[in-house]
Amino acid sequence: MTVDIKAPEKIKRGMVLEGTVIIALEKDVNFSDVIISFDNTITYPNPCTKNFSGWNLVSASQQNLDKGAKLRNAMIPFKFSIPEEAPPSYKGENIESIWQVNVKIDIPWAFDIHAEKYVEVER
């Protein structure tokens, strides 16, 4: 069972991140949704809040999937517009800002399938 995310390793703010999720499962699976998002997590040494982010971009490109059908093999394109004011990727001594493409295949009454790929957002 594989879920592969094809996307550039780096992108600049203000540009469009385009890629493809390739799903290759061992058998047909009932699913309720495939959610593709581009999320930012900021980690810093605060005892009350360890991980924070106000940035969660969700792709709306899954309309070509019939949610009543079974899922086994699929190629799903995605596209995210990265705002100019989005925080860039950064790893320092006291703070870290990471971006990643997240894929979740929502399977009713079973464990969901997840995949992720880190993408560096440059200034």
Q: Which fold has domain 2-122?
A: Immunoglobulin-like (2.60.40)
Complete DSSP assignment for 40-52: EEEE---SS-SEE
- pTM for the full predicted model: 0.84
Predicted pLDDT at 100: 95
83 and 14 Cβ atoms separated by less than 8 Å: yes
**pLDDT for position 46:** 66
The pLDDT assigned to 75 comes to 93
The per-residue pLDDT for 52 is 63
Tokens of 111: 């464990």
What φ, ψ does residue 55 adopt, rounded to 5°? -115, 115
| Mean pLDDT per 10-residue segment, the chain (123 residues) | 93 95 93 90 71 68 65 92 92 88 90 94 94
Q: According to the model, what pLDDT value does residue 116 have?
A: 96
- What is the rounded distance in angstroms from the CA atom of residue 11 to the CA atom of residue 116? 16
So what's the pLDDT on residue 68? Answer: 66
